[in-house]
Amino acid sequence: MMLNKILFPLFFCILFHFSFIFNFADANQQEAEALIKWKQSLHSHNQSFLSSWSRSTGFTAKNSNVINPCHWLGVGCENGYVTRLNLTNVGLTGTLYAFNFSSLSNLTFLDLHDNNLFGNIPSSISNLTKLTSLHLGNNQFTGKLPLELGKMTTLTYLNFINNFLSGHIPSSLGNLTSLSHLIVGNNRFVGTIPPKLGNLVSLKELRINLNNLTGPLPPSIGNLRGLKVLSVYGNKLSGSIPKEFDNLTNLTLCFFSNNTISGSLPAKLCQGGILQDFCASNNRFSGTVPKGLKNCTSLTRLRLDRNHFVGNITEDFGVYPVVDYIDLSYNNFEGEISSNWARCKNMTSLKISDNNITGKIPPELGLATKLQYLDLSSNQLVGVIPKELGNLKSLFNLTLSNNKLIGNIPNELGNLLDLASLDLGGNGLNGTIPEGIGNCLKMINLNLSRNSLSGVIPWQIGNLVNLQVLLDLSRNSLSGEIPLQLGKLDSLEDLDLSHNNLSGQIPSTFDQMQSLMSVDMSYNNLEGPLPDGKVFTNAPLESFMGNKALCGNITGLMPCPRALNISKRNGKDLVILIMTPIIGVGASLCIIVAVALYLLKGVKREKTRRIGSHRENMFSIWSFDGKLVYEDINEATEGFDTKYCIGVGGHGTVYKAVLSTGQIVAVKKLKTAQNPGFVKGKNFEAEIEALSKIRHRNIVKLNGFCSHAQHSLLVYEYLERGSLGKLLGNEKEARELDWEKRVNVIKGIANALCYMHYDCSPPIIHRDVSSNNVLLDRDYEARVSDFGTARLLCLDSCNLTELAGTYGYIAPELAYTMKPTKKCDVYSFGVVALEVIRGSHPGDLISPSSSSSVYTSSSSSSAISDTSLLENIPNLIPKDLLDTRLPYPSSGLAHEIAIIIKLALECIKDDPHVRPTMQYVCHQLQPTRKLALSNSIGKIMSWNEGECSSEGAKSMRSSSCSSGHKVDIV
């Protein structure tokens, strides 16, 4: 008896232990098999990545028949059971159909976000009865959410952001009462917000933004008293905000924007005193500013723009010590601009345009020195522009147009060295245009039109070589000659000098304004010939009518005397103009031109002097992480010894450097002729900084820049596998680069080009795409290098021929236009794509600058006159287009390769106009899935910047690119 009592627990204990081991082995085995089965269902390129997921690893000492998945990549265990699976951003491609959820029912954590998973979310996912956290965001899932999700009551975190899910948001989600995060933004959900979501009393974050949801916010939302983040922007919501909303005293972020919500804002907004970001823009809200906002000192951003708000706002707003961004534009507010705004010391953007604001601009605004964006346009403002605005050194957009401002334009605005856009149009400003404006070298948009400005156009405006969008001085009383320095504005696209009293000739330097797309010189006193250049010959008569005696080849204008026309064909027209007095150009013009030339020279001399003084400064180095020091690099490469040289590119020699920190970098030593470090100054720094901020999986990261008296260095991340060109030239390595990898490489290059052409502002043209400028990382992912370098080296001016790219990849038209365009990159891409498929440069197939490319002309014997044939019959790809070192591609791949060849052949067409855009190429290469995703993200990003983000203030800066996947934040 006694013995029994002792033995029993002992026995039990052992049995328990035994059964535990037994279960462990069994369950564990089942879990392992389930994972392997799922792995096998994924696309083959995942197989190598998940190589640890294999039956042959993880033998335990105790029992060699047991597979132990607990050491597999991304797998976490507790007590021997698989409880966590974390595989984010690893390129998983496939579905969840083969995922046996029942066998993995011990999972508490499943995170597969940032992959390429597609298909439906299976209802069997609800068999994960212990799951607390599920993150499937940033994939390409489609279909409806399974109602069974409502059974997963252990969930606290649920995230499906950025997929293509459709149908209704299931009411059954209201059963998940432990949920603290429900994040289903940026899908295609329709229908109303289920009132049952009001049961989710633990909810802290509810993000259902960017769907197609309709109807009002349900009153039950008031039950979510712990809610900190509510994001419903970008739906089709209507109705008014329910009064129960007042219960949400814990709100810190609230985004209502881009819906059609009406009624007034909750009066008690910010009653919790912790509201930071409130965004109601672009709705149908009416009424006055809620009282609660006045003392809301936690506010960092407030957007009420594009609604029907009314009321006198003079005293409605308080002092917000941390506020960054205020936008009240496009409403019916009246009253005055409070000097309180000046006490918002951290404010970077203040936008109150398009209201009915009266009174003067308070000079105190000059104290809000962090301001970058000030837009008070389209109101009834009176008085002068306070010269104190010249203290706002960070300002890059100043828009005061369409008010009733009078007086002079303060010369102090010339202190705003970061100013990129100045719009004072449509006021009553008088006096002359201050010369100081010529100091604002970052200006890309200048509009002083529709005022009463008089005097001459200061020649200093010609210094604003970054002017790009618009130079509009129309409808003033400007007189005198048009300064020939304006011809230097070769990025300018739109020039309007109409409706003034300008006299003399249009300077022939205007020939050089290569970017000009629109010009208006009408209603002045101009005479003489129109300059050469497409825009002048293609412009309508209206652009030149109402002048004294303009002549040229435009219907309605009198033709010019013959001699003049001929002389102007010559490139050196300026000199010739001076040299040819026979044509009746008065001596006075000669003098003016001579004086102007002298002045120009003066500018140059000044510049050379500046360069000289920089040179004395032997050692000028800057970098972004502070660790990249010239000496360090110099040491690591033993003074740039050739044994560290890993390549020679268009712009210089590349070295591998292992820095003292252990970091490996690739250092490009620029050719001395292209040593820009001293000359470029702030512009150059800004550009480098912008380029170094670009993050794209297919673009080599630029770490920074070092400048030294002898050489300038661009410092890039180092990539193990070196250049694509080198790899293709190596028998063994080329075999490693199988068809699937090659297709992926081509897609990568296309993605990089699409990104730079369409997601960067202004777009970045590479100018030197070649197989030597495409590097491969360890996983054979393509990374395009040298992006932006061409433009970087051309910031001021440069000899374009020097930078025309690599022979064999240059678009034929570059030979005569010398103006690189996106289509030049498209051409080079086509060549590289063919090279990758063929394994060698297709030079013998394409004969540059002629139309006899073998595969595009129908006369050739092996020609595919109708390239669409390729796509339909992929096993017909001619052998001479394929790399014979590889076996003929499997049918699926052959199909993709055929599409690539077809596209590439279109890309290398001689006529740039018939080449596709990179956007089209990317679209074709990634039918629907990827592209739709990147498009929608692109849309969100631009939308975010424009509509709902303080980033908007920065969106016009040089080369800012939208940043891919970062949508979760809003």
Residues lying near ligand NAG in the complex (CB under 6 A) are found at: 102, 123-124, 126-127, 148, 312, 314-315, 332, 334-335, 356, 358
Helix (H) or strand (E) holding 525: strand 525-529
Nearer to ligand NAG, 35 or 210 (CB): 35
Nearer to ligand NAG, 377 or 623 (CB): 377
Shortest gap between Cβ of 37 and ligand NAG (angstroms)?
Answer: 15
Taking a C-beta distance cutoff of 8 angstroms, is the pair 101, 77 a contact?
no
Nearer to ligand NAG, 108 or 580 (CB): 108
Nearer to ligand NAG, 363 or 763 (CB): 363
Taking a C-beta distance cutoff of 8 angstroms, is the pair 457, 434 a contact?
no
Q: Name the E strands within 317-367.
A: 325-327, 332-336, 349-351, 356-358
Distance separating alpha carbons of residues 869 and 209, to the nearest angstrom:
44
Shortest gap between Cβ of 336 and ligand NAG (angstroms)?
Answer: 6
Q: How many helices (H) and strands (E) does the chain have?
A: 18, 48
Torsion angle defined by CA atoms of residues 413, 414, 417 and 423, in that order, rounded to the nearest 10 degrees: 50
Shortest gap between Cβ of 311 and ligand NAG (angstroms)?
Answer: 9
- Annotated active-site residue 768? The verdict is yes
What's the angle, vertex CA 115, arms to CA 146 and CA 257, rounded to 5?
70
Shortest gap between Cβ of 146 and ligand NAG (angstroms)?
Answer: 7
In the three-class reduction of DSSP (H, G, I as helix; E, B as strand; rest coil), residue 527 is classed as: strand
Distance separating alpha carbons of residues 361 and 405, to the nearest angstrom:
9
Helix (H) or strand (E) holding 749: helix 739-754
Question: Residue 786 corresponds to which tokens in the numbers above?
Answer: 């040298």
Nearer to ligand NAG, 330 or 396 (CB): 330
Choosing from 423, 532, 632, 768, the catalytic residue is: 768
Q: In angstroms, what is the C-alpha Rg of the chain?
A: 33
Shortest gap between Cβ of 334 and ligand NAG (angstroms)?
Answer: 4
Pairing mode of beta strands 501-505, 702-707: unpaired
Nearer to ligand NAG, 141 or 245 (CB): 141
Q: Which residue type is seen at 442?
A: K
- Do you know the residue count of the chain? 970
Nearer to ligand NAG, 148 or 968 (CB): 148
Shortest gap between Cβ of 744 and ligand NAG (angstroms)?
Answer: 36
Nearer to ligand NAG, 337 or 526 (CB): 337
Distance separating alpha carbons of residues 721 and 726, to the nearest angstrom:
9
Residues near 230 by Cβ (< 8 Å), separated by ≥ 6? 206, 221, 248, 251, 253, 254, 255
Q: Concatenate the DSSP letters of all residues of 264-290 into one string.
A: PPPTTTTTTS---EEE--SSEEEE---
Nearer to ligand NAG, 102 or 890 (CB): 102
Q: Is the peptide bond before 434 cis (omega within 30 degrees of 0)?
A: no
Q: Concatenate the DSSP letters of all residues of 645-676 into one string.
A: EEEEETTEEEEEEE-TTS-EEEEEEE-GGG--
Shortest gap between Cβ of 902 and ligand NAG (angstroms)?
Answer: 44
Helix (H) or strand (E) holding 134: strand 133-135
Residues near 916 by Cβ (< 8 Å), separated by ≥ 6? 826, 903, 906, 907, 924
Distance separating alpha carbons of residues 644 and 642, to the nearest angstrom:
5
What positions carry a catalytic annotation?
768
